[in-house]
Amino acid sequence: MLSAAQTTSFERQGFLVVEDVVPSELRARIAEEYEALLNSLYATWAKQGLLPAPDGTMDFWQKLRCAYDAGCDWFQPMDISLPGDIIHADTPMHFGPAVFDLVTCPQILDVVQSLIGPEITSNPIQHLRIKPPAPALKDDEIRAHITQTDWHQDRGVGHEDADRTDMITVWVAMTDATPENGCLQVIPKAHDQMLPHCPKTQTAIADDFIDAARARPLPVRAGGILLLHPLIPHASLPNGTDNFRWSFDLRYNVTGQPTGRAHFPEFVVRSTDDPGAVLTDWRLWRQMWHDARNTLARQPHIPIHRWQSDAPFCA
């Protein structure tokens, strides 16, 4: 649980760094799960002639870099959500037991409970973030999840029905996040109103609504978390190192309130009122996403945000 001082700081500033939250054993299991996934993806790409056959000497990061350099898309197959663009019946995504244990991690939920209470739902706006070194990025790379992210508010990337939902973003550092390798930055004490957004590289705050000179970088050590109010403006710095930076974006809201993405599945992760409603089987979580994918693949595309490029502040 957070202390009274930490809770007060979060309420005043709109963010809070909490170190040493996610156990090292859990982070190791997540790394093993993703290594197995990458090995499978790499073998498929090698069989297709897109990559050289693995020689047994490359580690996870070397395979990831090799795949990226070859133009193989590992982001979506590794992500823990469906994409914002067109969804097909075979759109890849990843849901495994170790990631489920991260989403339902008691230490994370204790912190979340300090801010929104004990009735907690896993919000489906969630992502894996593995940021390649900036020098490795292609000139035409536009995917927001692996480039420098634009200034935005998390409230702004959901649908309007969740504008009054009590929610918290938990940014989990799997590797050390530093200003050099692309940690997040925020505008402190700027979480009092929704700012207009525009479709840019991602859904981003409209030009002239951010004073970037006030930005504060927020380094977080591996195993630590960054808590974000849904209205705090934030962005990421570029990764200027030679190594990848790895994190997860998780989100939680008060159970029964809109998630801002009703076409994606939610589930209860903690409840005092109805403990029997808590989902404990990762396979059911995976099936919920598979069912959503199958349904959405047969329907007209549902945009993931409410902003239009022809709005006056986007001109």
170-178 average pLDDT score: 98
User: Could you tell me the pTM of the whole model?
Assistant: 0.95
Label residue 94 exposed, middle or buried (CB < 10 Å: 0-12, 13-18, 19+). Answer: middle
The whole domain housing 13 covers 4-314
What is d(CA 139, CA 146) in angstroms, rounded to the nearest whole number? Answer: 13
DSSP at 310: T
Q: In this model, does residue 212 exceed pLDDT 90?
A: no
226-248 average pLDDT score: 94
Bridging pattern class, strands 184-186 and 234-236: antiparallel
Provide the token pair at 140. 């035409």
pLDDT tens, 26-67?
Answer: 999 999 999 999 999 999 999 999 999 888 889 999 999 999
Provide φ and ψ at 24, rounded to 5°.
Answer: -65, -35
Provide the token pair at 101. 């244990």
Q: In this model, does residue 136 exceed pLDDT 80?
A: no
Sequence length of the chain is: 315
227-249 average pLDDT score: 94
Q: What is the pLDDT of residue 271?
A: 98
**Closest by Cα among 100, 93, 237, 112 to 169:** 112
Q: Could you tell me the CATH number of the domain that includes residue 18?
A: 2.60.120.620
What is d(CA 233, CA 245) in angstroms, rounded to the nearest whole number? Answer: 21
What is d(CA 231, CA 121) in angstroms, rounded to the nearest whole number? Answer: 19
Q: What is the pLDDT of residue 94?
A: 98
Q: In this model, does residue 144 exceed pLDDT 60?
A: no
Q: What is the pLDDT of residue 89?
A: 96
Half-sphere exposure for 56 (CA within 13 Å, toward CB): 0
pLDDT tens, 77-110?
Answer: 999 999 988 999 999 999 999 999 999 999 999 9
Give percent of the chain above pLDDT 70. 96
Q: What is the pLDDT of residue 233?
A: 95
The domain tally of the chain equals 1
